[in-house]
Amino acid sequence: MTKTKSAPNTEERVEEQPVFEEGFTPVSHMTILKKNGRYVGVSTKNIRMDELVEKAGFAPIPYKTNEPDQRVRQLAGFLPVIPCSCDQCKVMGPTLAVPTGNLIFIQFSRQPNVDIKINQEQGIIEIRALSPIKKGDELFIDFTPLYTQDALDGEALYENPNSLFSDNMQQRLS
């Protein structure tokens, strides 16, 4: 008589009901063109000052900007960071964030025409126009304000979840 193994006891798998919460609709008023051998972001329409240019998600990655690994330093050259002024970030630099939209194609400039706001709770990045932008104009951004030195500066860079756009932009422009 041969013994055969019986199938393991299979219980019906019960999953909890999914909980759906309000999300967001990605927005992008930019397209990517190749200029002098590099990809750059340009506006797809005329954009007014303070108008939303792009809204996308982001994912923090477990790397700080001052890590000794040169690959991380190369990433820090074109990725935004999550503003933080804790003691660890003061030494190792802020955490890098990988955006899901077209943000990485916006070129760096000390004279930007767009600004970045980060909503860390919801994992959303908003890019807004600092000045009127014409259709076809190249977009420029400055990430250096994200490298905060004190806690109050860092808090000022986060989008207030209760408003469409915080008053910090108005204070910077006046």
The type of residue at 138 is E
Phi-psi region of 69 (alpha: psi -120 to 50; beta: other; left: phi over 0): beta
Tokens of 78: 């074109």
Mean pLDDT of 155-165: 46
pLDDT at residue 158 tops 90: no
- Whether 161 shows a pLDDT value over 80: the answer reads no
For the cut 70, the answer to whether the pLDDT of residue 85 exceeds it is yes
pLDDT by residue (tens digit) across 114-156?
999 988 888 899 999 999 999 999 999 998 888 866 655 555 5
| Per-residue pLDDT tens digits for 50-78 | 999 999 999 999 999 999 999 998 998 88
The pairing of strands 81-82 and 52-64 is: unpaired
- What per-residue confidence (pLDDT) applies to 7? 58
Determine which of 6-15, 83-92, 112-121, 130-139 has the lowest per-residue pLDDT on average: 6-15
Interatomic CA distance for residues 147 and 149, integer angstroms: 7
Q: What does the pLDDT read at residue 87?
A: 86
Cβ proximity of 35 and 107 under 8 Å:
no
Q: Are residues 113 and 137 in contact, defined by beta-carbon separation less than 8 angstroms? A: yes
Q: Which two tokens stand for residue 71?
A: 């690959």
82 CB-near residues (< 8 Å, 6+ apart): 60, 94, 95, 96, 97, 118, 120, 146
- State residue 5's pLDDT score: 61
User: Does the domain at residues 27-173 carry the CATH identifier 2.170.270.10?
Assistant: yes
Q: Which amino acid is at 155?
A: E
- Flag whether pLDDT at 109 surpasses 80: yes
Q: What is the DSSP string of 85-96?
A: -SHHHHHH-PEE
Q: What is the dihedral of CA 118, 65, 89, 92, to 10 degrees?
A: 170
Strands 95-99 and 107-108: unpaired
At residue 45, the pLDDT reads: 98
CA nearest to 133, candidates 54, 57, 33, 25? 54
